Structure 1
Amino acid sequence: MHFAVHCLDVPDRTIRQAHYPEHRAYLASAASMVVIAGPILDEDGETPIGSVLVVQADDIGKAREFVEGDPFALNGAWEQIRIWPFRKSVDNR
C-alpha cells in the first residue's frame, strides 16, 4: 500500500541543512520503500520548507516508523508530519 507523507520544517533552517546528507542516505538505503520524495519549496521556488514523500509499506504503522526514523525527524528538522493512505490513480511517467 502507498502512503502520502507531508512534512513541514521548523523555522530554523540550519537543522535541515545540517542533516541533509544523512536524510539523503536514509532515503537511498530504503529505495524499495520510497516511491518518490522531494522538498516542498517556499514561494521563491528555491528555499526548502518541508518534504513530500510517497512510501510503500504494509500498513500506516510501518510507514510512520519509516518516517520517524528519518534523520530529519530524529533531529527535529520537521515541525509537523502527516501521513495518509494514498491510491495512485495516474502515473504519467
Structure 2
Amino acid sequence: MIFVFHLLDKPGTAELRTTVRPEHKAYLAGVADRIAFAGPLLADDGKTMVGSLLAIDFDSRADAEAWQAGEPFTRAGLYASSSVLAFTNLWPQKAGFPPAA
C-alpha cells in the first residue's frame, strides 16, 4: 500500500536540512524501487525547502512508521509536524514529474 508522508520543517532549520540532506537522500535510496514520488515542499519563492512530501509503498502502516522513525531528517529533529496517510493513486501523472531516466 502507498503511504504519503507530509512533513513540515521547524522554522529556522534550513541549515540543518542542508547538513542532513545527503544522509536523507541515501536513506531514500534504500527504498528507491518503492517510491511513487518524493521531493521537497517549497516556499512560494519556489526555492526555499520547507518540508517533504513522499509517497512510498510499504506492506503496512507499522512498516511505514518504522521507516519514518529511522529517517535522518526525523532523527535530526527537523520536522515540526508529520503525518502518514494511506493513499490510492487514481489519476495518471501528466505534470510535475521528471522524465524517466
TM-score range, shorter chain: over 0.9
Tell me which amino acid in the other structure corresponds to 1:50: G
Name which one, 1 or 2, has greater alpha-carbon Rg: 2
2:2 maps to 2
Q: Per-residue displacement from partner, 1:40-90 (whole Å, max 9, x unpaired)? A: 000111000000000101111111111121100011111211011101101
Tell me which amino acid in the other structure corresponds to 1:40: L
Structure 1 runs (4+) greater than 6 angstroms displaced: none
Tell me which amino acid in the other structure corresponds to 2:8: L
Question: How far did residue 32 of structure 1 move?
Answer: 2.6
SS of alignment partner, residue 24 of structure 1: helix
- Tell me if the contact between 1:15 and 1:76 (Cα under 8 Å) persists in the aligned partners: no
Q: What residue ranges of structure 2 are gaps of 5+ in the alignment? A: 95-101
Question: How far did residue 36 of structure 1 move?
Answer: 1.1
Question: How far did residue 92 of structure 1 move?
Answer: 2.7
Aligned length: 93
Percent of counterpart pairs with the same letter?
A: 34
Aligned-residue CA RMSD in angstroms? 1.1
Whole-Å separation in 2 of the counterparts to 1:78 and 1:53: 14
Q: How does 1:37-52 map to 2 (within 5 A)?
A: 37-52=38-53
Q: TM-score, normalised by structure 1?
A: 0.92
SS of alignment partner, residue 22 of structure 2: helix
Question: How far did residue 29 of structure 1 move?
Answer: 1.7
Q: TM-score, normalised by structure 2?
A: 0.86
Tell me which amino acid in the other structure corresponds to 1:92: Q
Whole-Å separation in 2 of the counterparts to 1:64 and 1:87: 18
Tell me which amino acid in the other structure corresponds to 1:59: S
1:64 maps to 65
Whole-Å separation in 1 of the counterparts to 2:88 and 2:74: 25
